[in-house]
Structure 1
């Protein structure tokens, strides 16, 4: 059901519009009515409606001022203007400001129903696009942590291989250039946040290059991949310049060991500290200092990342996945999974459409 806010200082106009909506058979519901633009803006803040139907001339704040306020607030509410013949020039200006349509008073039912049908088509497409973006955000989120690890450890080969795999997924559905750009923008935002959390201070080069200069981002998939590689390279160069190397070599060896052996339930701090040739206490401190997360957090993330990948394959049962990523006790695995991701392994699978 799509939500509508009505704004008009004439009671009978609001009643008439409400009746047209109720009898249209379209999935629209009036959630609020306002006498002027200021009241309408308060309702928009409360309800975040899909559609605002507003008179062009109202006291306190008129329709054009309301459109400007909505744009300034960042709402994506669609707007339909109601106007009289004398206000036609204002209606034209409203369209230039991004309004979906305008209707002349008195409102003709056939034209109103036609507007709702066209708007419903647009809203359906927006909702579908939002759903697809949520799916891509879920994929990007699940892949960003391992990629951030490779960048943080300055493992260029691993970072570029991970980026190539992600790019293959990003381009599998032949997205439009702006869709691919959006996916990379989300990736850069997640990676920048992860790196800055570990660095505990902003990196100079982590501002999104797409947000800073969208017109300068290339269109073709191959060029976008190369541009993304340059972004990652820039981050690693800055990390090289700012990092105190110390025990980096030994920590790198320990991390590689963890990546190879995380599925073994016996892997613990003492065992990996031996690989790094450090005492457990010193290794624990250095690990947190270099990677920005604790040993336990990092090991847990490795196991859960592997579990998420396996959950995408319906051939594996959830208890089998727990065993294969290092958890001998399934209830403990399910508890850790839900704590980290907010959903159980079974619900995570359902969100992916796997039963």
Structure 2
């Protein structure tokens, strides 16, 4: 089954950002359609009949709720996820009454949107099983989702349990998957991500070492330097010196 997704939102940054993020992290959707207003959304829906629709409530010409009413009149029943900046129960109530499967409030993380879209794609087509879910050959879909979450939140005081909760599995199972799929533990992977971001800051030659340490999630400059040397084989100062030495 070819799964088609429509992203309807009048904000270019949100609409195009979601489309690019989904394309980057999953192959589940054979076609991703875009609409910048309610009327264009209706035209795309009638023409292409997308299977899943990510729909903003407040759009020019016709609202998301208007779009849902016309979809219903046309006899179509795609999976609809409402994306709204309105934290009012009446909007959610109307959307759910018209058949929306979920109601997300802006701002929402791209990874959360992706996870929901993939869940609904699984519902339509079944899990991908051995297929890759995020364009990294051989990477388990759950590990892929965990990696995305880590990449977006590496600067926080992340724990294995927090990430496991995010991908809806136990901490022990996630730890096992990391070792099996990536050949390293959760902490080692997190530290590698942090160190790679530290390198970016070091190349900018603007922040001091202790400032970089705090920016990427370390509370102790000495421990940061120790981890950096373990990952890169040299201290932050040696790395920085090498960048600016002829």
Shorter-normalised TM range: 0.3 to 0.5
Normalized per residue, the structure richer in helix is 1
Q: Please, what TM-score do these two structures have when normalized by structure 1? A: 0.33
Q: Tell me which structure has the larger Cα radius of gyration.
A: 1
> RCO greater where, 1 or 2, for CA within 8 Å and sep 6 or more?
2
Q: Please, what TM-score do these two structures have when normalized by structure 2? A: 0.47
